[in-house]
Amino acid sequence: MIHKFKVKTSARSEMCDITREVQALVRENGAAEGVCHVFVPHTTCGLAVNENADPDVKRDIIAKLDDAVSEDFDYRHGEGNSPAHIKSVLVGPSLTVFIEDKTLQLGTWQGLYLCEYDGPRSREVWVKILKG
Amino acid sequence: MIHKFKVKTSARSEMCDITREVQALVRENGAAEGVCHVFVPHTTCGLAVNENADPDVKRDIIAKLDDAVSEDFDYRHGEGNSPAHIKSVLVGPSLTVFIEDKTLQLGTWQGLYLCEYDGPRSREVWVKILKG
Amino acid sequence: MIHKFKVKTSARSEMCDITREVQALVRENGAAEGVCHVFVPHTTCGLAVNENADPDVKRDIIAKLDDAVSEDFDYRHGEGNSPAHIKSVLVGPSLTVFIEDKTLQLGTWQGLYLCEYDGPRSREVWVKILKG
């Protein structure tokens, strides 16, 4: 079974914390031990694990990626969102996190983020839990 | 069991659509539900999920990565393919996609790509399917 | 069960080969076939697969990433390690490798690396093995 939930993003580029939503699905599922795979069915956003404390970290990640994958380049794709496709390839569409005691296992400072690069939009997140 | 198939790339940098090959292995395997892991046993190519519609997207991804990880840098590795190793690390060697109804579950615009950065070459793709 | 081991890094940026440690855990676990997931519970390091032969490849990957995600940028995060957070997002915190004959399956030139971007530090690596 694939669990699905929606995320409404509110800016062109944004990192939306989805830790609570994924953690809730893991608890609901009830697997004592296992693996939690997360996937986004989109080509202009990605999934990342990063710091959940200082919001300036998210701001810096977004700003430096905007700088490295700049808008002013000889892109050919007509929709004007080639930088979003490129960031999506670099950040990646999937994550794998472990489950123990029916709980997602993350480091102290880690949170799960949907990385929006072509928003604002309504996005879907897919979650699949394997026991073991 | 690990399923393996070959991909013949035809340019130095290229994104080769492998969605059909992976989808066929999933159907053959017959798992109704599960997870499909894909892996490339190479250090100068990678695996990505991205747009399967406008070919200009692939062109833009390749061109901007070539620009960001440029050839003109003080590299020391004697084989002259350091940019390919770097892109391989950034894009990554593995992908995890979900299976439902014996079918790979992808977003409307998503395809699976082997990203060649040091071709043309013959590459191998490894696929492992876990039921659950 | 999650297997855990420590890695002591010795430089600000470094690629530490962890192939032997992960291979040993796979042998100990004894699963004949399966999948080995590796995860780092940190936000300023990552996991990569890359060349295990010429050490200049590691040096070039580190040098070019340092160049692309430069220190001289208008970062706001007060700890001064924003480039490490950004590289961590780009390289990613997790890897999935296959197991056959109780052995990690890697390409001839592939090794597993913990990529340190904010060292020297003591890091943890988490490993989870699923049979199948």
The per-residue pLDDT string of chain A (132 residues; one tens digit each, 9 = 90 and over) reads 999 999 999 999 999 999 999 999 999 999 999 999 999 999 999 999 999 999 999 999 999 999 999 999 999 998 999 999 999 999 999 999 999 999 999 999 999 999 999 999 999 999 999 999
Chain C positions in Cβ-Cβ contact with residue A54 (cut-off 8 Å) = 77-79
- Which spans in chain A are helix H? 19-29, 55-68, 82-91
Confirm or reject contact between B86 and chain A (CB < 8 A). Answer: no
Q: Quick one: pLDDT at residue B34?
A: 98
Q: Quick one: pLDDT at residue B93?
A: 97
Contact C105 B90 (CB under 8 A): no
What is the biggest distance separating any 2 CA atoms in chain B, rounded to whole angstroms?
Answer: 51
Q: Quick one: pLDDT at residue C71?
A: 92
- Closest residue in A to C129 (Cα) is A132
**Which chains, if any, share at least 3 CB pairs under 8 A with chain C?**
A, B
Check: CB of residue A124 under 8 Å from CB of residue A6: yes
Residues 6+ apart with CB under 8 A from A87: A46, A65, A69, A115, A117
Check: CB of residue B129 under 8 Å from CB of residue B29: yes
Chain C positions in Cβ-Cβ contact with residue B78 (cut-off 8 Å) = 54, 56
Contact B43 C49 (CB under 8 A): yes
Confirm or reject contact between B97 and chain A (CB < 8 A). Answer: yes
Contact B97 A39 (CB under 8 A): yes
Residues 6+ apart with CB under 8 A from C31: C99, C102, C129, C130, C131
Confirm or reject contact between A55 and chain C (CB < 8 A). Answer: no
**Which chains, if any, share at least 3 CB pairs under 8 A with chain B?**
A, C
Q: Quick one: pLDDT at residue A25?
A: 98
Which tens digit of pLDDT belongs to each residue from B6-65?
A: 999 999 999 999 999 999 999 999 999 999 999 999 999 999 999 999 999 999 999 999
Chain B positions in Cβ-Cβ contact with residue A37 (cut-off 8 Å) = 35, 96, 98
Q: Quick one: pLDDT at residue A93?
A: 98
Q: Quick one: pLDDT at residue A127?
A: 98
Contact C92 B92 (CB under 8 A): yes
pLDDT by residue for chain C (132 residues), tens only, comes to 999 999 999 999 999 999 999 999 999 999 999 999 999 999 999 999 999 999 999 999 999 999 999 999 999 998 999 999 999 999 999 999 999 999 999 999 999 999 999 999 999 999 999 999
CA distance C50 to B63: 23
Architecture of the domain whose range is B3-131? Sandwich (2.60)
Contact A73 B92 (CB under 8 A): no
pTM attached to this predicted model: 0.97
